[in-house]
Amino acid sequence: MYLPEHFAEDRPDQLHALMRSYPLGTLIIHTGEGLDANHIPFELLVAEGEQGVLQCHIARANPLVEQITDGMPVLVIFQGPQGYISPNWYPSKHETHRQVPTWNYQVVHAHGRIRLRDDERFVRGLVARLTRDHENKSQQSRPWKMTDSSTTYISQMLAAIVGIEIKIDRLVGKFKLSQNKTSADVNGATAALDTLGQSALANSMRNQSND
């Protein structure tokens, strides 16, 4: 990934926060048939291993189950807020006419080693934690839990999925948030983004400029 110094983000707490806020990662592996990408919600366990561990589950019918070998290197990409930035939003553009369009975004690349976890206890615990976390985030008045369904049905569903664990070796973050622009230009862009309903990106830009 092309990574100019002013867009590099290496603070673990910031990288972890993005991964948790936007847990749908793109898992990229190299198979005998070439590159393959799958989009999967992950759980991040920062206290495990030196760099943390990612866990998820996939359908047993997914070809990944046969393609994965223990310890093979993989890449998981997490993408946060992103959007187009018009030069018209910069006050300096109207003064100098020396601005061009760009795209702002936040991404984290997690490099690691993968292995399958094909055991019912692991998968059951993972599903319970993911469900509890995301039911709470979606502000359900009565959060769904596995005991809402019959034991037989849940066992059938769990038998149809396989767990995955990725030991993270390295995290690379790129937060491209107009750090190379003046405060006035950043304020102009964030105001325009707020008007367009892209407040998540606007807030990220504001927070970055205040660090």
The single-letter DSSP state of residue 52 is -
- Residue pair 160/58 in contact by the 8 Å Cβ criterion: no
φ, ψ for residue 147, nearest 5 deg: -70, -5
So what's the pLDDT on residue 49?
Answer: 83
**Average pLDDT for consecutive 10-residue bins of the chain (211 residues)?**
95 96 97 93 93 96 95 98 96 84 98 96 94 91 90 94 98 97 94 97 89 66
Question: Rounded to two decimals, what is the model's pTM?
Answer: 0.93
So what's the pLDDT on residue 210?
Answer: 67
Query: Using H for helix, E for strand and C for coil, what is the string for 11-50?
Result: CHHHHHHHHHHCCEEEEEEEECCEEEEEEEECEEECCCCC
So what's the pLDDT on residue 211?
Answer: 66
So what's the pLDDT on residue 68?
Answer: 95
Buried b or exposed e, range 132-162, using 16+ CB within 10 angstroms:
eeeeeeeeeeeeeebeeeeeeeeeeebeebb
Helix axes 120-137, 151-159, angle to 10 degrees: 110
CB-based burial label for 97 (10 Å; 0-12, 13-18, 19+): exposed
Buried b or exposed e, range 73-95, using 16+ CB within 10 angstroms:
ebbbbbebbeeebebebbeebee
So what's the pLDDT on residue 171?
Answer: 97
Here the tokens at position 189 are: 């862009």
C-alpha torsion sign, points 159, 148, 53, 78: positive
What lies within 8 Å, CB to CB, of 152 at 6+ separation is: none
Q: If one looks up domain 5-181 in CATH, what number appears?
A: 2.30.110.10
End-to-end Cα separation, the chain, in angstroms: 24
**Beta-ladder partners of 204:** none
φ, ψ for residue 54, nearest 5 deg: -110, 135
So what's the pLDDT on residue 123?
Answer: 95
Distances (CA, A) of 23 to 16, 75, 133: 10, 14, 11
Q: Cα separation of 191 and 186, whole Å?
A: 9
So what's the pLDDT on residue 99?
Answer: 86
